[in-house]
Amino acid sequence: MSGGIALGLGITETITSPSYTLINEYEGRLPFYHFDAYRLNSAEELVALDSDFYFYGHGVCAVEWSERVKNAIPENAITIKLEVMPNGSRKISISDNDLEKELVKSGVLETEKL
Amino acid sequence: MNILALDCSGDTLSVCVAQIEQENTTAFSKPKHPYKDEIGHKKLPGNTLVEIAIDAGYRHTERLMMAVDYCVTEAGLKPQELDLLACTAGPGSFTGLRIGLSTVKGLALGLNKPFVCIPTLDAISYYWMGVAPVLVPVIDAKRSHFYFAIYEDEKIVHGPFDKDIQYLFSLLQHYSEVLFVGPDADILASSAQERSGFRLAKEHNRPLAKAVANLAMKAYLKDGPASSSQGLNYLRASDAEEART
């Protein structure tokens, strides 16, 4: 998914996992900051990495495992929830309804097949 | 005294080597044409300064040691001839502050030289002492919060705080004349306009290294060196603490 965001921002560099580096930075149409909170134990640990300077700065930030650092995430952040369904497909829920509708309309997302 | 001072607390990195004479030995007369002096790389009498400021965003680690090397060399010194090292103690960028202090601690340990840390807001205010009776240095702490303090007659009287703008202006309601300084003072421009005596310093984002060097000498002569366990003042209460109060 982060690879897709990077593609949309015109980043040609290979997107690698920030699980160990915590934050990877990329130059694109807008700066792209890719976070992974998997190794962090609290929101304070993320804030100590100057997350506020990224979150309230001028780039696009994607945070994986954001539920581990909930208190450090801005209130107006868009949350994308990925769930693996029993049949192996993925259910994607987006906290921003307008964005979700737009993505469905443009064919990026499929509506749920019941 | 030869002082190496650096500041990584904000997006402008600054480094300087200040050679400050003791007060009782400043009576040197400067040569008439110092720049034509053919003796070459030799310190002129009196106080001298080599300072670098690089406004390139948060890229301090990539540039800091090159800037240090340049300043020390340009001052005509060998690292061993430094007498004191100094950096900002916070508040500011957490990562930047750690880069600054760890660099200073590393150099101090390797060279076996003393170091001191100077509060960032003291360093910002230093340049404006005497310009206005009340100074408020301001750093954007994000999330609608600011790091700030109130200085009167060259002394800190309130703070430092990590609070919002409402709190700042409630503290300032009895002041008639205030000068806002610091890298992010312009954020307060519209709020300050509503009060006639409240002004914004025009050149409010000055590189801090020189101020740090001057304050470091004073602090060192008064209180001696910092200990190796010296920490930083992030000023940010953790979310857990904030929820409790």
Per residue in B76-108, pLDDT (tens digit) is: 889 999 999 999 999 999 999 999 999 999 999
Beta carbons of A53 and B58 less than 8 Å apart: yes
Helix (H) or strand (E) holding B54: strand B48-55
Residue B28 has pLDDT above 50, yes or no: no
Section B197-202 average pLDDT: 92
Do residue A72 and residue B239 have CB atoms under 8 angstroms apart? yes
Residue B240 has pLDDT above 80, yes or no: no
- What b/e readout covers B199-224, taking b as 16+ CB neighbours within 10 angstroms? bbbeebbbbbbbbbbbbbbebbeeee
Q: Is B242 exposed, middle or buried (0-12, 13-18, 19+ CB in 10 A)?
A: exposed
State the nearest Cα–Cα gap between A63 and chain B, in angstroms: 18
Chain A positions touching B239 (Cβ under 8 A) are 43-44, 47, 71-72
In the block, which residue shows the tokens 């020189």?
A: B210
pLDDT at B245: 43
- Residues of chain B contacting A59 with CB distance shorter than 8 Å: none
Q: What is the mean pLDDT of chain B?
A: 88
Instruction: Tell me the pTM.
Output: 0.85
In chain B, which residue's Cα lies nearest the Cα of A76? B143
Residue B204 confidence (pLDDT) above 50: yes
pLDDT over 50 (residue B25): no
Residue A106 has pLDDT above 90, yes or no: no
Asked if the Cβ–Cβ distance from B238 to A44 is below 8 Å, we say yes
- Chain A residues whose C-beta is within 8 A of a chain B C-beta are 43-44, 47-50, 52-53, 55-56, 71-72, 74
CB pairs under 8 A between A and B: 29
Share of chain B above pLDDT 70, in %: 87
Average the pLDDT over B214-236 and give the result.
Answer: 94
pLDDT value of residue B101: 98
Among the partner residues A44, A56, A71, nearest to B142 by beta-carbon distance = A56
Residues of A in contact with B141 (CB under 8 A): 52
Nearest CA to B199 out of B150, B136, B155 is that of: B136
pLDDT of the residue at B238: 54
Which residues in chain B touch residue A40, judged by CB atoms under 8 angstroms apart? none
Shortest CA distance to B215 belongs to which of B113, B121, B107, B112? B121
Low-confidence winner among A91-105, B11-25, B162-176, B224-238 (lowest mean pLDDT): B11-25
pLDDT at B46: 75
